[in-house]
Amino acid sequence: MSKEINIPKDRADLIKAGNALFGSIEKKQEINGLNAEQSRALAIAVSARESSNDKKIINPYGYLGLFQFGAEALANVGLIKKANIKHLLEKYPKGKGLYSRRNGEPSPHEKFLRDDNNWILPGGLKSYLSDVDIQYKAFIDNTNSNIKMGMRVNKTYKKNSNGKKVVDKIFSPALNESSSAAKIAGFAMSAHMKPLGAIKYYALGVDDRDGNKTLISSYAKLGEEAVTMLAPNLEGYQYKNVLSSDGNDESNATYSLSSKLENEGKEHSSISQPLPLTQEIKDKYKNTLYKYGANGNQANGNTLYDCSHLTHAIGKELGHNVPYQSTAELAKSKYYDIIDPKDVKPGDLALWRGKDNHVGVVETPIGSDGTGTYFSTRGNDKKPGRSGTVKFGPKSGYWKKPTSYLRIKPEYVNQAPIKNTVVAQKKSSPPKVAPAPVVEKNSADIAKEKKLPRGYDLLGGMVSALRQLTVPNLQHATQALLGRQPEDYRSAKGGCCCASGPTSPVINQNTSITLNSACKDPQELGKIVTSAQDRVNRDMVRKITPRTS
């Protein structure tokens, strides 16, 4: 389905099509050595060249989607089961007959891809062809794999007269740490079409041809132009002067590729490490009773949940800012990344699909003994059980290996998850506070007391909640509370600050609450602060735009 494109001539159409396809792609997904816009520009060029930007297309040989990946490439990026593709290739040595259609029937390669049992990706071929995000991530992962290959010394082999495999040719690295963004993109484009051809061209200057008789140099030029001519025109472009107007590399067009590869794992972990369950969260949701469709409902003194609603509730405690999704919706959710089993961490989701649909939060990943633990509901409607820690894994009881593991994407995690103690107060009744003292105390007496009245403790809790927000006017509110209210509290008559006196609009910008500058009744302070906490919590969970009036 390849199509000739000319970036200078087709630039306007490419930009329009590319922004429509990839405009909402997560900006942190980058090709090693390229920034987000350059990565997207290269994806646009490859997609236009390979599929004319048709995400659902399948060519006569069974190659799929925007980037025309085959089964081998999809296995390399973790979407196809490697054991299954290995068996297929053994059945068709050197690919002979694998890609051929006969009597109008799909090729064995296409039939393989149409069988969902060969996919790791839930939903198989249908899910892949319908989801641009998945296809884009596959492109990024495959391209990064090719770039790593380009950084290595590569060898080709042949059989000698005795039938023994020996080294035929050695190729020096095609890329190094000082390679420019343009060169990296040119190599990546060439390697997408013919990996060995890209190595020969960039390492030896040998201009090979692909199966369509197209010169590797033409692909290299296309990749370079994607970075130098297309990327600067994309929405949100921040990178300056990849190449100067006369075509010479500028110093700021060079990235340290080796250091980026070196730090790749560290960057990923710092961005998307899940938050593990705390004992406080487990205690809060332990022993709830299973009922299908229940979401914290109360019945006969029991709190009821099903697995997906319980997992969603726990997710909110961990700062996940996503809507509720059933197990079927989680399998193709845009809010989560599918994680390789070897990379699973406490706090990831374990998802089972098929005969038994189930989901839970991983506590301990499957270890060398073949077992791990997760937190979720137990039982079913016929025999409801209590939620808690459950074993899973190949050597456990009922729940074997999950169909997939999911990790919340960084952009859907609140910057600072709400503390459990604060969240818990949302559903609590007004706090019990000590009655107003019979004997009036002066400010010196109050300052000497080791434990201040309950209302002041709640005020401290609200300040802690406000500190977690990054909204500017709430930062101002926090400073106002810290700078004025505690002193008002200590110095006011009776040791309180909310029952009477002129109003002080400290936090009303975001909560529509006004605290008074003086008070005599700690009970009233407790009520006001609790109400303020509830409103702050709701704003934190929903990310409501702060009021400015």
What pLDDT is stored for residue 423 in this prediction? 36
* Look-up of token digits 């068709």: 92
Are the beta carbons of 18 and 61 closer than 8 angstroms? Answer: no
What pLDDT is recorded for position 524? 54
Least confident of 41-55, 223-237, 326-340, 497-511: 497-511
Q: How far apart are CA 53 and CA 31, in angstroms?
A: 20
Residue written as token pair 């340290």: 256
Q: Which of 449, 480, 451, 459 is nearest to 524 (CA)?
A: 459
pLDDT of 417 strictly over 50? no
Return the H-helix or E-strand segment holding 289: strand 289-290
Q: Which residue has the higher pLDDT, 296 or 520?
A: 296
| Cα dihedral 484, 485, 487, 488 sign | positive
**Would strands 349-352 and 336-339 be described as parallel, antiparallel, or unpaired?**
unpaired
The one-letter amino acid code at 49 reads R
The answer on pLDDT for 154 being more than 60 is: yes
Residue 262 has pLDDT above 60, yes or no: no
pLDDT of residue 69: 96
- CA 429 to chain centroid, in Å, comes to 37
Quickly list H helices, 92-159. Answer: 108-114, 124-130, 132-151
113/120 Cα distance (integer angstroms):
11
Domains of the chain and CATH, by start: 7-259 (no CATH), 279-411 (3.90.1720.10), 420-542 (no CATH)
Mean pLDDT lowest among 24-38, 46-60, 113-127, 172-186 = 24-38
More confident: 212 or 128: 128
Determine contact, residues 18/41, Cβ cutoff 8 Å.
Answer: yes
pLDDT of residue 520: 40
Pair of tokens at residue 330:
């989680």
Kindly state the percentage of the chain with pLDDT values over 90.
Answer: 35
Confidence of residue 30 (pLDDT cuts 50, 70, 90): confident
Q: What pLDDT, in 10s, does the model give residues 466-509? A: 544 444 444 444 444 444 443 333 333 333 333 333 433 333 33
- Candidates 15, 12, 123, 130; CA nearest to 66 is 130
Q: What was the pLDDT predicted at 535?
A: 58
Q: Which two tokens stand for residue 293?
A: 């469709």
CB-based contacts of 43: which residues, under 8 Å, 6+ apart?
18, 22, 66, 67, 136, 139, 140
pLDDT-derived band at 531, boundaries 50, 70, 90: low
- Residue 205 above 80 pLDDT? yes
Which tops the pLDDT comparison, 508 or 191?
A: 191
pLDDT tens track for 208-246: 888 778 899 999 999 999 988 888 777 543 333 232 233
Rounded to the nearest 5°, which phi and psi values hold at 264? -55, -45
Average pLDDT in the chain: 74
User: Which residue bears the tokens 């250091």?
Assistant: 259
Q: How much is the pLDDT for 479?
A: 46
Provide the token pair at 376. Answer: 């979720």
Q: Kindly tell me if the per-residue pLDDT of 107 is higher than 80.
A: yes
How far is residue 38's CA from residue 359's CA, in Å, rounded to a whole number? 37
* Cβ count within 10 A of residue 188: 30
- Report residue 18's pLDDT band, with 50, 70 and 90 as the boundaries: confident
**Banded pLDDT at 538 (limits 50, 70, 90):** low
- The string of pLDDT tens digits covering residues 347-364 is 999 999 877 889 999 999
Distance CA 532, CA 517 (A): 16
Record the pTM. Answer: 0.46
Q: Which tokens sit at 419?
A: 């503390």
Closest listed residue to residue 141, CA positions, set 30, 304, 236: 30
Are the CB atoms for 525 and 456 separated by under 8 Å? Answer: yes
